């Protein structure tokens, strides 16, 4: 059964699903997009120590207008990691925590990342 959408809405929906399918196909896309039934190994606020290494992460030099898809995914992953640090900061305050992120300067070059890092630092 066809969805009850206007032609322009259907066109936008198709463009969005095509874009998401493209992002899923890139190596870094697996870190941001999951599939039903996939066995996930996720970061947890409950574990005392977690180390995350990401291969093929490209650190964007600055906010360029013509970033590649890999650059955009890399920037998104860095922002997600900064958000995890913020969640860690707000978790059980009776437990001592250390959050260390290599390439933190890359996050500071992005408006959203800089705002998130500022909250973590303060």
Average pLDDT of 65-94? 83
pTM of the shown model: 0.68
**Helices 69-90/7-25 angle, 10° precision:** 80
Residue 50 has pLDDT above 70, yes or no: yes
Residue 19 has pLDDT above 80, yes or no: yes
Closest listed residue to residue 47, CA positions, set 102, 82, 87, 80:
87
DSSP conformation class of 50: -
Average pLDDT of 21-49? 80
| Burial class of residue 19, CB neighbours in 10 A (0-12, 13-18, 19+) | exposed
Residue 120 has pLDDT above 80, yes or no: no
Residue 22 has pLDDT above 80, yes or no: yes
Residue 1 has pLDDT above 60, yes or no: no
Q: What is the Cα–Cα distance from 57 to 73, expressed in whole angstroms?
A: 8
Q: What is the pLDDT of residues 58-74, one digit of tens each?
A: 776 666 677 788 888 88
């Amino acid at each position: 059964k066809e969805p009850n959408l206007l032609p322009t809405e259907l066109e936008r929906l198709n463009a969005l699903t095509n874009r998401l399918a493209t992002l899923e196909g890139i190596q870094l896309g697996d870190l941001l997009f999951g599939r039903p039934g996939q066995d996930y190994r996720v970061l947890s606020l409950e574990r005392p120590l977690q180390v995350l290494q990401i291969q093929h992460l490209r650190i964007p030099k600055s906010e360029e207008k013509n970033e590649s898809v890999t650059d955009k995914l890399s920037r998104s992953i860095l922002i997600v990691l900064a958000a995890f640090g913020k969640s860690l900061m707000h978790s059980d305050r009776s437990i001592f925590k250390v959050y260390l992120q290599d390439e933190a300067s890359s996050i500071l070059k992005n408006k959203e990342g800089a705002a998130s890092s500022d909250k973590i630092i303060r």
